[in-house]
Amino acid sequence: MEKIRNTIERLHSSDVSIQENCLRILINISTENEYHNIILKLVGSKRFKELIQSNNEVIQMLSAWLLSHLGLKYENSEIILKWDLIEIIIKLLKESERENEDITEKVLWLMLNITLNYDNSHLLLEYGIVEILIEFLKRKSNNYSMVILSCGILRNLLHKDSCGEYLDNQKIFCHSGIIQTINQMLIATTNRTSQREQQASNQMILSLIGLIHVLTIYHPLIRRILAISGILNQLVTLLSSPSTPLPIKEQTIKILINLSLTEETERPILQAGAIMPLVDIVVSISSTTIELKSLCVSCLANLTSNADIRKVLRSNYLIDGLSELLKDKPNHTSQLLEAISLLIANLCIDEHCRFKISQSDCGRDLIELINYPHGQVRDSILNALDNIKVPISFETQNELAMIEDMSDLDPFDSLSFQTTCSNQNTLNSPGFRGSIFRFSKSTSPPNNNNNLTNSIDSSNSNSKSNSINNSTSNSASSLLQSPIYQSQPQLPPPPQQQQQQQQQQQQQQQQQQQQQQFYINTPLQSPQQSPQVVQQHQQINNLPSLSIEQQSPQIKSQTTPQLQAQQQAQQQQIQSPQIQSQTIQQNIIEEQPQFQAQQQQQQQQQQQQQQQQQQQQQDEPNKLFRRGRIIKELIDTEQVYIHALSVCIKVYYNPLVVSPTIPPIISLDLVETIFSNIDKVFRVSCEFLKKLRGMSDKKDVLELAHCLQWYWDQKDTIEELRTYINNFNKAMDCVHENRAKLPKFKEFLEKCQFSEQCKSETIDSYLIRPVQRVPRYILLLTDLLNHTVDTLERVAIQDVLKRTKQITDQLNESKRKAENVSKTLLLQEKVIGLSEILFSPNIYANKENAIINSGSSNSAGSSHHGSSNSIIYINGSSSNNNNNSLNTSINNNNISLNSSINNNGLNMSNNNNNSNNNNNNNNNNNNNNNNNNLNTSSSNNVTTTTTTNLNIINRQLIKDGLMMESRQKKVSKYRYFILFNDLLFITKQKKNKYSIYKTIPLIDLKVLEVPQSANNTETGLYCFQINWSGDKSENGMVISTTEADKEDWIKELKESINCVKKNHLHNIMKSQLIFN
């Protein structure tokens, strides 16, 4: 207590450094909740106001940080809200967002904590906090941490439970244009490929869609606004991507469920292409949880109240998946069974769907669950069974006999269908009962009916049923001849049938074993036999189909010629009975204990083997059935994937290239940018599908592994995929940019989207398919490996899975290089003088110059080394770019430099390869390694290099972020740090840009961790020290706002320093070899 009072008294000092130390001490003390009230009371509102209005940025940041800690307590947040500090804090937020992101972050934490006070958070609305945060989100869309914090504040202010004025705030939010900004942010974040960017972007995506989810809970008007805002397209992209984490998919499906509660939003959901991703999750047997499937079934159950959506779902693909879910009884939940029952009941309203369901096992599976203990679920099952029993009209039966299956699995079909039966007749058929399934935190709106009841006059129903009964026999025979019911690829029988077969085989084996055991137990010479005799008797008894007489060595007349030959060979080895009896009697005493021990061990081993075999036999039917399902899913999804590519080429690509309009809708350059080499990817994938279709009916695991190995062995496969994936981000940006600028292009895209072939899927959903396909292979192969028992099959799957993962890493690495180009170019525009240093031919002027390049000048090794001791504080929001090559182009992985670089006489070559090894100043003639070398030439494994260019390094951007540098006994200052793989740049702000303050070669840099002791509580909790050059006066201390930032910077710095030193030693050794 006394320490707190003394610290607060010292806080009134006019010395800024004392104020800074006192604030840091109070921040550390405020980590314990018991001191919150005391600190808030002793400091007071007047002193907090003076500190927040201070001219020093560090004092402002620390004051906001302290208030954010104190605002965690409910009563303290109420006090802060009622002070006159809110207007000053909001003003600080507006000013700091343009100059200091660290202050902005602390203010946002403060706002997030005080908005948790549900009773008084409405006081913030008087200052227009919603509008301020909306504008803030639009300007800070690239800063992950700022976006996450802002979404948390808005979520508290837009939620009914936390803000009474939620509806007014939601209307302001939706009409401000922020939905389009969120859509652009989701597009930008889903295109990240590096692991760190993915982790940060996933958190940002989760916060954004969490904000959207709050908007969809309560009011139908807000749902309609969201449905037509364009956000659905990006939500569908997230849902269809295999790499999307399950929490994001789960939140996305909840949004779709809430949107489906309003009738006006059903068609926008269909037009966004959300149906097929939902069906894929329901049908998929890998990488999905039963909870996720349950949510998807619930969403489809709501959407199938729409007649157009029921037409889209006229497919055995979904119905077979529902049947499999009904058979999977261990995973049944009340929510899942109710959703499946409602979905089947709604699908049965459409006669085409009802016919397919009646031909499947869904009805039988539902009958088995008719006594389910939950009453509401039981009623839903009965409603579904009643709808399945409704007869099908004569016209529909004849129509089904004439048309082929229009399922989404047929790549050669246009997926368009024309039905003769009207929707009104279907809806008015007797006995149909549908329902709407809801998922939200509040009660559903009163305008949504829970039950859909349809009825007609009894006279119409009776006449309709009579006509159906008279024509059932004729239509049935014609339907069996229809191409719809052609034989499908054979799958293993269900687990129940397999278990019965296994039990029969076990009984037969047990009977044979009993007979053999009887033969073995019949004594031939003596009750105690030596191991040799036992072995000989076992060899005789193992002969197939022999009677007891035939097994006796004394009866030779009844033996077959084969048995006689075997017995003669055995008699040559066996001594006469008299000699055997003598040797046995002599050895019985010596061998009896040893023989008994061996016999016990053999019995134990046999028991263990029998137990293992029984366990394997018990697990084998389920695993065999599962393997068949996984292989079928891979083939089916490959077929769907190729069909999607064919639709994209026919509907979107060909009209722009094969038959362009005059004038053209867009230029051929834009067409090439958007579609890249999608036609070549389609051609390669078609060859793979042919290979899969050429497999035998057994769908063997080894055959599948062989097909995938063949696919990766084709030289065009990886090359075409790499080209397409590298260009994907640029293609998506081009689509969105020209859709907004060119009305004709926008009209063309909408026309294609709503065509019969596309089934309302956007061009985005088609273009992303090749990017998502390779990760899908990994998921299916991993699941297949987990259900494979045979050793050879496991080895084959492991090999192809390992290779698929390696190819995925190579494709991701190639895409990172392409993305790194744009990031580095942005930094060159942001930092004055960075371009000249990055491409300087002599940046590595240090000890190696005495050996390699003694005549070179020290341009960057000493001129940028600053003076004095310094302390640097890390801002938590920093962007990370790891292992990204600067000098790679986006297209075709060919490296080119701009004109300013070419004027310096730099030439770059790139060897196409499969791994990313950036070696400096050495030659590499290996085509399997991706070495980006500057001014190197290789021929016949002999390299000639000039000493003037040995120091040029292919730089990679590793990490950048805003930090705060503080010198001893002086005020701290903010700096922007940029870490490359050989240099560390420290910059200072100069108006709207930054200028280079220090340039530190990593070979001269040292990183030292500072122990967490009581001595450094005044300077911060998490810190580390950096030293460079040999001068002890040139050092710095870096203090991180979070422990994660500290560890991240230490890790990146140490790894980069070690890499530079290894390359440096390698160059020295190589130069000595050259001179020798």
CATH number, position 291: 1.25.10.10
At 1037 the pLDDT is 65
* Nearest-angstrom CA–CA distance, 842 and 93: 44
At 533 the pLDDT is 34
Tell me, yes or no, whether 332 and 448 share the same domain: yes
**How much is the average pLDDT of 83-89?**
82
At 541 the pLDDT is 38
Where on the phi/psi map is residue 125: left (φ > 0), alpha (ψ -120 to 50), or beta?
A: alpha
At 1040 the pLDDT is 60
Residue, of 192 and 876, whose pLDDT is higher: 192
Read off the CATH number of the domain in which 1063 is found: 2.30.29.30
- 970-1021 pLDDT per residue, tens: 666 777 888 888 888 888 877 777 888 888 888 888 888 776 653 444 444 5
Tell me, yes or no, whether 291 and 439 share the same domain: yes
| Res 657 pLDDT > 70 | yes
Flag whether 444 is in a domain: yes
Number of structural domains (the chain) is 3
At 648 the pLDDT is 92
Tell me, yes or no, whether 840 and 811 share the same domain: no
At 901 the pLDDT is 33
Lowest mean per-residue pLDDT among 98-107, 384-393, 626-635 = 98-107
* Nearest-angstrom CA–CA distance, 704 and 781: 10
Per-residue confidence band for 102, with pLDDT thresholds at 50, 70 and 90: confident
**How much is the average pLDDT of 22-40?**
85
At 709 the pLDDT is 92
* Nearest-angstrom CA–CA distance, 807 and 815: 12
Helix H or strand E segment including 451? strand 451-453
* Nearest-angstrom CA–CA distance, 300 and 277: 11
Here the tokens at position 896 are 């080119």
Burial zone of 553 (CB within 10 Å; 0-12 exposed, 13-18 middle, 19+ buried):
middle
State how beta strands 983-990 and 973-980 pair: antiparallel
The closest of 307, 241, 228, 314 to 272, measured between CA atoms, is 228
Flag whether 650 is in a domain: yes
CB 689 within 8 A of CB 638: yes
Say which residue the tokens 């037009």 belong to: 271
- CB-hemisphere CA count at 13 Å for 871? 20
At 163 the pLDDT is 64
Tell me, yes or no, whether 875 and 784 share the same domain: no
At 548 the pLDDT is 31
- 320-333 pLDDT per residue, tens: 889 888 988 888 88
* Nearest-angstrom CA–CA distance, 552 and 342: 71
CB 346 within 8 A of CB 437: no
**How much is the average pLDDT of 140-162?**
82
Tell me, yes or no, whether 327 and 382 share the same domain: yes
* Nearest-angstrom CA–CA distance, 609 and 602: 10
Write out the residue range of the structural domain in which residue 776 sits: 622-818
**How much is the average pLDDT of 1057-1069?**
85
Residue, of 821 and 349, whose pLDDT is higher: 349
Residue, of 140 and 1011, whose pLDDT is higher: 140
Burial zone of 590 (CB within 10 Å; 0-12 exposed, 13-18 middle, 19+ buried):
exposed
Per-residue confidence band for 522, with pLDDT thresholds at 50, 70 and 90: very low
Per-residue confidence band for 502, with pLDDT thresholds at 50, 70 and 90: low
Tell me, yes or no, whether 858 and 1005 share the same domain: yes
- 340-396 pLDDT per residue, tens: 999 999 999 988 889 889 888 898 899 989 888 888 999 999 999 999 999 888 888
* Nearest-angstrom CA–CA distance, 1027 and 1007: 7
Flag whether 387 is in a domain: yes
Flag whether 116 is in a domain: no
CB 1007 within 8 A of CB 1058: no
At 1038 the pLDDT is 66
Q: Please give the share of the chain, as a percent, with pLDDT higher than 90.
A: 12
At 338 the pLDDT is 92
131-136 contact pairs (CB < 8 A, 24+): 131/172, 131/176, 132/90, 132/93, 132/94, 134/172, 134/173, 134/176, 134/178, 136/93, 136/97
| Res 84 pLDDT > 70 | yes
**How much is the average pLDDT of 800-804?**
92
CB 34 within 8 A of CB 76: no
* Nearest-angstrom CA–CA distance, 1073 and 1076: 5
Here the tokens at position 403 are 């048309």
At 194 the pLDDT is 53
Read off the CATH number of the domain in which 705 is found: 1.20.900.10
- 762-792 pLDDT per residue, tens: 888 899 889 989 988 998 898 889 888 888 9
Burial zone of 1015 (CB within 10 Å; 0-12 exposed, 13-18 middle, 19+ buried):
exposed
The closest of 800, 811, 1058 to 915, measured between CA atoms, is 811
Tell me, yes or no, whether 872 and 1009 share the same domain: yes
Tell me, yes or no, whether 860 and 982 share the same domain: yes
Say which residue the tokens 């062989």 belong to: 706
| Res 673 pLDDT > 70 | yes
* Nearest-angstrom CA–CA distance, 853 and 935: 15
- 892-926 pLDDT per residue, tens: 333 333 333 333 333 333 333 333 343 333 333 33
CB 282 within 8 A of CB 322: yes
Where on the phi/psi map is residue 44: left (φ > 0), alpha (ψ -120 to 50), or beta?
A: left
The closest of 1053, 959, 938, 1067 to 1005, measured between CA atoms, is 1053
Flag whether 714 is in a domain: yes
At 296 the pLDDT is 92
Tell me, yes or no, whether 786 and 839 share the same domain: no
| Res 406 pLDDT > 60 | no
Question: Positive or negative CA dihedral for 997, 1002, 1003, 1008?
Answer: positive
| Res 176 pLDDT > 90 | no
Q: What are the start-end ranges of the H helices in 30-85?
A: 36-52, 57-70, 74-82
- 231-268 pLDDT per residue, tens: 888 888 888 887 788 899 999 999 999 999 988 999 88
In the three-class reduction of DSSP (H, G, I as helix; E, B as strand; rest coil), residue 414 is classed as coil
At 688 the pLDDT is 92
Q: Please give the share of the chain, as a percent, with pLDDT higher than 70.
A: 64
Per-residue confidence band for 1039, with pLDDT thresholds at 50, 70 and 90: low
Tell me, yes or no, whether 397 and 303 share the same domain: yes
Tell me, yes or no, whether 1001 and 1043 share the same domain: yes
Tell me, yes or no, whether 971 and 879 share the same domain: yes
* Nearest-angstrom CA–CA distance, 598 and 702: 40
| Res 583 pLDDT > 70 | no
- Single out the residue in 392, 423, 456 at which a domain terminates: 456
At 984 the pLDDT is 87
Flag whether 578 is in a domain: no
In the three-class reduction of DSSP (H, G, I as helix; E, B as strand; rest coil), residue 833 is classed as coil
Flag whether 729 is in a domain: yes
| Res 566 pLDDT > 70 | no
Phi then psi dihedrals of residue 162, to 5 deg? -110, -10
Flag whether 971 is in a domain: yes
- Single out the residue in 818, 848, 876 at which a domain terminates: 818
User: What's the pTM value of the predicted model, to 2 decimals?
Assistant: 0.57
- Single out the residue in 396, 424, 456 at which a domain terminates: 456
Residue, of 61 and 425, whose pLDDT is higher: 61
CB atoms < 10 A from the CB of 961, how many?
20
The closest of 727, 736, 757 to 651, measured between CA atoms, is 757
- Report the mean per-residue pLDDT for the chain: 70
Per-residue confidence band for 190, with pLDDT thresholds at 50, 70 and 90: low
- 474-500 pLDDT per residue, tens: 322 332 223 222 333 344 444 555 555
| Res 555 pLDDT > 50 | no
Residues 6+ apart with CB under 8 A from 801: 778, 781, 782, 785
